[in-house]
Structure 1
């Protein structure tokens, strides 16, 4: 960790009015949730294959069964997970007035569990904690649907229209809802400091956000354990474990800025 760079970022935070954090799987790996391209990605190798993409999920009952087996495994992992040091640090940053929004690529709900205000969290890839009917849009609590799977149901269907049920997450090949991306873009354009944490910045369209921020004269910071394809767009970069970096950031900020009420809270449409 470069302390000079960290101090520069802390000074930027103190001067900024609207700070947006983009978070990726790197903030959740120490919660026991494997990432997709980093050091813990080997977990997902057993789930590689076309059965798990969105188009085959829609087309094939067999693919849906394999998908639900994978998803139930993932949901059980999420149920046991607790917020990491990084999650807790981001919640503390919000209390210090040093975070106005989180745009997250994660679906685990650990930002809410750590204490960040739900209205300030934008889950652009959805959430594993809900299941939705793709036909009538009825929303279910995931515990209900995964409970049915534990009882032997292989492929659950909607109680009301017998439509296809799917976890409310964005999978490979599935279009990102335009409304969610529009909200993410608005928050990016409204900020004066954009900080990406624990993301490889490969998955589109989220990976375009730091580029858009830079193009609109926002200050861009990248914190990650390895280089990213967007490093060239960053004003400042710190490589290292994001929990360690964020917790040190919190410690330094608390000496310079007391805990305060959040400066504003996003509405459900913002």
Structure 2
């Protein structure tokens, strides 16, 4: 009984950030399988909705997303560049939340896509997420459209650091600040007291000594690097089907992938709880959990 209760509580905790939904019908699963069976070069686009079952909230889900539960908004790129207090607040909150964010594990959706890689019909996974859960699940053919929280870059000299190494540097400068066990936000930070932020020390680059250190993430208001955009464009043009898993496609960098697919008359299937920007021209839409739907599908 104790083990069953623990398992049930763990399952409920993993669904904390999953919005209300229905299970997919047998007919919908059959239709998705037929969609996969007809493709030879599949491109998969994933978003925050595939990671909510791992305990990472998204921004826009009804009732459980960050925008529904908090007045806080994501950091803007220009604010990070121009404002030392903004950078101090960002790194203080991210430092406190990092251990929990980094401990998050892939779920059944990520693991299924990793298994699909054994079939050459899967071209690539393009993910809008910065959480590295696809890599943790064993996927290798992944393009991180918005970068990754697991790297830190100097904006002056380009020096790159592993995020865990940067965490050690922050710990040495801020030895009295405790980590948080509370819920993290989509990019890994947490709510903390203003006094903690004011006393937090942020280092400059250890190589050039003056550069601003920034996570290798495309912040809101920034642009996806051109080379990455062109790489994805080429992949779309070479695909004969696009599967969206867990994205509302609200952010244009993801939505334009679907616009290109539509322009080339490439079939589109979407698995996402709630509406997306591409519902009106998708060939197939299933409003259900990725972790429920994807394991029922096979890429033969």
Could you say which TM-score interval applies, normalised by the shorter chain?
0.7 to 0.9
Q: Match for residue 64 of structure 2?
A: 40
Match of 1:103 among 126, 132, 149: 126
Answering whether residue 182 of structure 2 is matched by residue 158 of structure 1, we say: no
Distance 2:241 2:295 in 1: 19
1:142-221 alignment runs, 5 A limit: 142-151=163-172, 152=174, 154-161=201-208, 162-221=210-269
1:29/1:40 contact within 8 Å kept: no
Aligned to 2:157, the other structure's residue is in SS state: coil
1:210/1:233 contact within 8 Å kept: no
Distance 2:107 2:68 in 1: 21
1:24/1:197 contact within 8 Å kept: yes
Aligned to 1:100, the other structure's residue is in SS state: strand
1:27/1:198 contact within 8 Å kept: yes
Aligned to 1:79, the other structure's residue is in SS state: helix
- Structure 1 residues not aligned, in runs of 5+: 258-270
- Between structure 1 and structure 2, the one with the greater Rg is 2
Q: Match for residue 181 of structure 2?
A: none
1:106/1:125 contact within 8 Å kept: yes
1:201-232 CA distances to partner (integer Å, 9 max, x unpaired)?
10112111112101101000011011112101
Distance 1:140 1:69 in 2: 18
Count of matched residue positions in the alignment of Structure 1 and Structure 2: 249
1:85-122 CA distances to partner (integer Å, 9 max, x unpaired)?
110111122224452210000001110110112xx200
Distance 2:251 2:40 in 1: 28
- The offset of 1:160, in angstroms, is 1.4
Distance 1:47 1:171 in 2: 18
> Could you say what the CA RMSD is over the residues aligned between the two structures, in angstroms?
1.9
1:33/1:77 contact within 8 Å kept: no
Distance 2:65 2:253 in 1: 21
Task: Give the alignment's TM-score, normalised by structure 2.
Answer: 0.78
Q: Match for residue 35 of structure 2?
A: 12
Distance 2:256 2:96 in 1: 31
Answering whether residue 185 of structure 2 is matched by residue 137 of structure 1, we say: no
Task: Give the alignment's TM-score, normalised by structure 1.
Answer: 0.86
- The offset of 1:45, in angstroms, is 5.8
**Greater share of helix residues, 1 or 2?**
1
